[in-house]
Structure 1
Amino acid sequence: MSALLETPHGRDQHDLVAAHAVPDSLLLLDKEERAALERWARGEAGSRSRDAMLKEAQSVGLGIERAERLCQRLLQEGWISRREELKGGNWLWKTIAWRDLRRLQGLLGITHAEQRKQARQAMLEQAWQWLHERGNVQQTLLDPDLLDELTLALKALEEDKSLRADVLEARLGLLRALAAWHDSGQQGLRRNFALYARDLTKSLSASEWRWLDALFDLERLNIASFAQVGWLSGDLVFSWQGRRLELAPLHCIGLPLDDLLVADALTAPRQWWLIENRTSFELQARQRQAGVALLWMPGRPSSAWLATVSHLLQLAPAPAWISADADPAGVDIACTVGSRWEQAGLAWEPYQMGLAQWQSTTQRWPLNAHDRRLLGVLLARPSLPASLRPLCEAMQTEGRKAEQEAWL
């Protein structure tokens, strides 16, 4: 048995410590002993009380007698000093103090606060570097709204100092998976994204889905909770192998995109009208003009939605009005959707989203950095519709944007 040195503290207390230095290796431990020691050594406290240590030992299946023996071994091995108190003629230990907590934590594989801080900082720096490199890709190849969402999500993770390292690592992984899903043109249900991100359809927890929902427009990124739907209104008659569906009696209706893609006939309207804002769409649907078919344009549309629009144009070719927000993203969306009409050899024009509407509104939403970058890309396009160029130039000059719900 190792010799112990005694240091008196008054008449009824003393400290005991091994005469030799702190060891370089860990004593042999069984499963429960190691679990208890990991509990005891976790954190930054330089000393621990007997009551707390015995309670923690019991929580991992180590009884009081075995915990006492483990503490005695730690004393004799040189890992701790022990404060004891004389009561009823017996010396009872009350607290222990670690002689080299950092060394013990290292041998147990426990990271201390400074290590965790450094690891957290390294993860965040790598993530910011990744996002910066991704943002340098040609702007037109990326969803600019996703770049903003990724930036906000990364800022939120950086500001949440209470987040555990494993949770931070998992959420950073989800950001990368979300970006890769978008960049590779994936689309599907949530279970498909979970399989893509982590190889299991139920691998994302409810809290992780809530976190993603709070920061990202998952539907726009082709991650649907349910089957994607196209909302329409007008005197339209669809046909599927002779089975007909008339829309005229209805205010509006949502039909699964998969079903719209296999429709084999559709009466052609005089004019298509695509509206971005859902409230504006429903309002105009209630007062639609004869011969005008309305289609809700869900923000930055998914590839599945765009493919459905192309199919509808094959069945029912007609020119289009496109109404989006008077902001850089709205202009970009209008041009993206309008290109489907161009591919079909049909005319389209921006409608109620020009300079006049922007000037008349009392909205004064300031442009952000992404808006300004996107404006530069839009103004550099020779194909930018002539009616939208003055709007883009005015937004760039005055630094503000507006939403169509204010006037439509």
Structure 2
Amino acid sequence: MPEDIRIESLDQRKVCQRRKRYCEHLPQQLGAIPGEWRELLTRWVRRGGNSRWETLRNDAGVTGIQMAQSLLDWLLQEGWAVVVEQRQLGDWWPLSLELRNLSQLRSALGISDKEQELQRWHAAREELKSCCNENLASALLALDDLPVHRALARYDLIAALQRWENMQKSGTRRDFALAARDDTKGVSGAEWNWLEQTLDLAEFRIERHTPLLLLSASLTLTLPHGQLDLSCYSDFAAITPATLQNISAASGSIRRWQLVENRTSFERVARQRENDIGVIWLPGFPPSWWCTSVGHLLDLVPAPAQFACDPDPAGIAIALKAAELWKERNLTWQPWKMSGTDLAGLHVRKRLSDADRIQIKTLQQESMLPPPFLELIEWMLEHGEKGEQEGYL
């Protein structure tokens, strides 16, 4: 790695999970690059200069993935790019790429600012219109009456909502802003007002108010001004992240944690749990507040875990992400009720979408997937179906 490449952590966890890399110096001249690189870079610049790596890699096509990676590495080393990366299974993978000195790049590639914005808007509108849900498609059409630069900014929010929905995330407005723009305050007041007037944000699991961690366990939690006995709750407790962070000790015995994604299934499991089992609700793709809260609880009460998510590609991704908290602490974990047999036993199943199949290809690149996940993936690909855990859990 060149000595002038800087690395900055994008989170506060002990083991960094997100970072950005960039070169100290800012380049001024593009210089001579291979013609196929120039053609691909032109497409990237016309997207606006700040895009997800998956989108940019797809621009290169199936046969050009290695070329896209080589171009990314060159842009980073030459100072033209800032790369945001995420740690997955012990290695770093690109999440997004932001191009620097865009005016010089546009000039060097023969792209005018107005032309670039207009072309990006038409391409973005058609791309998102073909894959987003009905509500987002309506919001997208409403942007046609806006100036192009404002339409593009709000298109980015619609695209971020689509990614949020695909990954089944949930959290506060700040969680969404961080996911959309790498900044908890990156969405303006006017943009939030527009989103509220255009969409029902609750349908996307984006909350204005303080989120709650739902759990059921026979534990007594020690706080600065008293104790909280969770065994007094007949079903489960709801605790704010701030309260959880103030817990200094926990007494009681937990043999195993069970984490359940579907809310209905969580409530069933919580009411039927054994005395030495702790049950935690996993609200889709784990938001930052959830990871911080559960991580602190796990430091106080370490125990192995079982993860029960929907038997589908997103469910596997959700379980793998949440399991990082256990792997960071050298605690064991395993899937629960997520096998091909569980999926096959459902009376109602859904067809795999194109997005599901793309996600499966990504999952197959993961090393050391637990056997139940391998079996589940094999069953889904063979039968072309997926399911929801509330049908059996």
Normalization by structure 1: what TM-score? 0.57
Partner-residue secondary structure (3-state), 2:299:
helix
Partners of 1:148 and 1:370 within 8 A in 2: no
Name the structure 2 match of 1:135.
55
Larger radius of gyration: 1
CA distance in 2, matches of 1:349, 1:211: 41
CA distance in 2, matches of 1:148, 1:349: 36
Partner-residue secondary structure (3-state), 1:317:
coil
- The C-alpha deviation readout for 1:132-166, integer Å capped at 9, x for no partner, is 865245996559xxx99994169954897676511
Partners of 1:149 and 1:215 within 8 A in 2: no
Note the C-alpha offset of 1:275: 0.2
Name the structure 2 match of 1:225.
208
After superposition, where does 1:374-393 map in structure 2 within 5 Å? 374-393=359-378
Instruction: Check 1:398–1:174 CA distance in 2 against 1; reply closer, same or farther (3 A cut).
Output: same
Note the C-alpha offset of 1:374: 1.2
Partners of 2:172 and 2:209 within 8 A in 1: no
2:248 is equivalent to residue 264 of structure 1:
yes
Note the C-alpha offset of 1:340: 1.2
CA distance in 2, matches of 1:235, 1:325: 26
Partners of 2:214 and 2:281 within 8 A in 1: yes
Name the structure 2 match of 1:247.
230
Name the structure 1 match of 2:118.
none
Note the C-alpha offset of 1:307: 1.9
How many residue pairs align between the two structures?
272
Partners of 1:324 and 1:353 within 8 A in 2: yes
Percentage of identical aligned residues: 27
Partner-residue secondary structure (3-state), 2:283:
coil
Name the structure 1 match of 2:15.
none
CA distance in 1, matches of 2:285, 2:318: 6
CA distance in 2, matches of 1:133, 1:313: 33
Partners of 1:233 and 1:253 within 8 A in 2: yes
Partners of 2:261 and 2:310 within 8 A in 1: yes
CA distance in 1, matches of 2:363, 2:175: 36
Partners of 2:139 and 2:198 within 8 A in 1: no
Instruction: Look up the equivalent residue of 1:234 and give its one-letter code.
Output: A
Partners of 1:341 and 1:348 within 8 A in 2: yes
Name the structure 2 match of 1:295.
280
Q: Unmatched 5+ residue regions in structure 2?
A: 1-45, 58-84, 87-92, 97-126, 165-170, 178-182
Instruction: Look up the equivalent residue of 2:353 and give its one-letter code.
Output: N
Instruction: Check 1:190–1:203 CA distance in 2 against 1; reply closer, same or farther (3 A cut).
Output: farther
After superposition, where does 1:342-381 map in structure 2 within 5 Å? 342-381=327-366
2:218 is equivalent to residue 235 of structure 1:
yes
After superposition, where does 1:5-404 map in structure 2 within 5 Å? 135-136=55-56, 151-152=131-132, 156-157=136-137, 164-166=144-146, 170=150, 172-177=152-157, 189=173, 193=177, 196-197=185-186, 200=188, 202-204=189-191, 206=193, 208-213=195-200, 217-219=204-206, 224-241=207-224, 243-250=226-233, 251-267=235-251, 268-404=253-389
Partners of 2:144 and 2:151 within 8 A in 1: no
Partners of 2:255 and 2:276 within 8 A in 1: yes
Instruction: Look up the equivalent residue of 1:302 and give its one-letter code.
Output: P
Partners of 1:240 and 1:263 within 8 A in 2: yes
- The C-alpha deviation readout for 1:236-267, integer Å capped at 9, x for no partner, is 21111361001112111211112212211123
Normalization by structure 2: what TM-score? 0.59
Partners of 1:149 and 1:216 within 8 A in 2: no
Instruction: Check 1:293–1:203 CA distance in 2 against 1; reply closer, same or farther (3 A cut).
Output: same
Note the C-alpha offset of 1:308: 1.6
CA distance in 2, matches of 1:127, 1:153: 22
Partners of 2:217 and 2:277 within 8 A in 1: yes
CA distance in 1, matches of 2:310, 2:176: 31
Partner-residue secondary structure (3-state), 1:397:
helix
Partner-residue secondary structure (3-state), 1:254:
strand
Instruction: Check 1:240–1:215 CA distance in 2 against 1; reply closer, same or farther (3 A cut).
Output: closer
Note the C-alpha offset of 1:369: 1.4
Instruction: Look up the equivalent residue of 2:381 and give its one-letter code.
Output: Q
Partners of 2:53 and 2:94 within 8 A in 1: no
Partners of 2:312 and 2:388 within 8 A in 1: yes
CA distance in 1, matches of 2:219, 2:130: 40
- The C-alpha deviation readout for 1:344-380, integer Å capped at 9, x for no partner, is 1111110111111111112221111111111112122
Instruction: Look up the equivalent residue of 2:244 and give its one-letter code.
Output: L
Partners of 2:53 and 2:95 within 8 A in 1: no
- The C-alpha deviation readout for 1:98-141, integer Å capped at 9, x for no partner, is xxxxxxxxxxxxxxxxxxxxxxxxxxxx7799878652459965
Instruction: Check 1:292–1:324 CA distance in 2 against 1; reply closer, same or farther (3 A cut).
Output: same
Note the C-alpha offset of 1:196: 3.5
Alpha-carbon RMSD: 3.9
CA distance in 1, matches of 2:197, 2:185: 18
Instruction: Look up the equivalent residue of 1:272 and give its one-letter code.
Output: W
Instruction: Check 1:280–1:141 CA distance in 2 against 1; reply closer, same or farther (3 A cut).
Output: farther
CA distance in 2, matches of 1:356, 1:380: 23
Instruction: Check 1:156–1:334 CA distance in 2 against 1; reply closer, same or farther (3 A cut).
Output: closer
Partners of 1:233 and 1:252 within 8 A in 2: yes
CA distance in 1, matches of 2:254, 2:191: 44
Partners of 2:213 and 2:238 within 8 A in 1: yes
Partners of 2:323 and 2:333 within 8 A in 1: yes
Note the C-alpha offset of 1:212: 4.3
